[in-house]
Amino acid sequence: MKKALLGTTAIVGASLLAAAPAVAKPTVNIGGALDFQVGWTSQDREGWSPTPGGVIGPSTERGYSFFQRTLITINATDKTDSGMQWAFRLDLNADADGGPGASNGLKDGTARDAADKVTLDLSDDWGQVSLGADYGVFRTLSFGSKDATKSAGTGGVDGSWSRWYNRTSIGGSRFESSTTVRDATTSSRITYVTPRIVGFQAGVSYAMDRTTIGRFRAAEADGTASTASNSFEQNFWSGAVNYVNKFGDFDVGLSFAGTEASNSNELLQNTRSFHTGAVVGYGPWKIGGRYAWKPDSVDNASTSTNNDYDQWDLGVGFTTGPWSLALSFMRQEQGVTNNTGSMSNDVYAFGTTYDMGGGLQLYGEVFHAKTKSGAPTANSASNNEGTGLISGVRVKF
């Protein structure tokens, strides 16, 4: 009798467990990427930062080096009971000892954080809200030469050339890419992007500052005085709208974006940037371009003159079978603050990639760059001209 009772109890228990609804778990994917480069340059001026590989070197460089970039990517997605989709993403830097050299070889020569991006996206019929450390819509919703050249070499003028070429900056502008916005980092921010309606999509991003991580108090709140050397940038707002459509055999993308950050130091100007871009695809061909401008450069005094910044880039890409090829050009020009004339930077790049399949690619790129200072009292060391060759292998899984 006891055995029968125990057997019956076990059967009932198993039935109840079978009838209970299964608890859904998020879909989690782990991936990664590694990019290994060999670079060589011949240039007029050496010893600036960043030198090849991002390491600040002596006045005489060897002119060649290695560079690598390694990422581990974790993605998790699921839906709420109401049907709202959520997606988590983490791009984790995984180079040994933090990468080559103290400055980790980044394009802008600064130290690399443990993670590039950490975001939570919430999306439904009303659009998408993104929370976390990521780029703003000024970058993510824009078109330019990068959309035609990103598959070939390192990406042309939006790629790795500045890791290997020494140049002085112009008014704090980012020379290494076709992005002119001051807030070109992945600081904590909130972004909203609308659904795409008849080809149009718009978005807005807000970040309190470029380095927000938890509690933040502006420098002035700590009693720091407003001087011409103290920048108190905050409240980075950016907005963008783009249009994507297909006309026969042509794919078309258009974009316009703007951004502004207030400066609580009344002695300094606010930061503003704008750009308009386009990309057109026809069969294996793509052509993209962008014009960008800043009415005033970063952290200049409110009384400064002749500090406008202009930039345009153009790229053409072609894909046939496993091969991708691209040619691009970028011109950057900055007025000499409180003087006449302008400073400039010109970059030409040609790149090619061979896709071996299975996520493995071989690539090569050659570039030529020329930096010129127009300041009346400019030291000749402010000018540079050089040619570089970059080859590499990358894998993504």
For 339-357, b where at least 16 C-beta lie within 10 A, e where not — what string? eeebbbbbbbbbbbbebee
Confidence of residue 310 (pLDDT cuts 50, 70, 90): confident
Higher pLDDT: 113 or 70? It is: 70
In this prediction, residue 185 carries a pLDDT of 58
Question: For the whole model, what pTM was predicted?
Answer: 0.79
Q: For the chain, how big is the Rg over CA atoms in Å?
A: 25
Burial class of residue 28 (count of CB atoms within 10 Å of its CB; 0-12, 13-18, 19+): exposed
DSSP letters, 181-242, are -S--S--EEEEEEPPPBTTEEEEEEEES-TT--SS---GGGGT----TT---EEEEEEEEEE
For the segment(s) 126-214+230-396, the CATH number from 2.40.160.10, 2.60.120.590, 3.20.20.30, 3.90.1150.10 is: 2.40.160.10
Lowest mean pLDDT among 13-27, 28-42, 373-387: 13-27
Higher pLDDT: 194 or 164? It is: 194
Q: Residues 130-148: pLDDT tens digits? A: 999 888 898 889 999 999 9
DSSP letters, 54-88, are G----SS--SEEEEEEEEEEEEEEEE-TT--EEEE
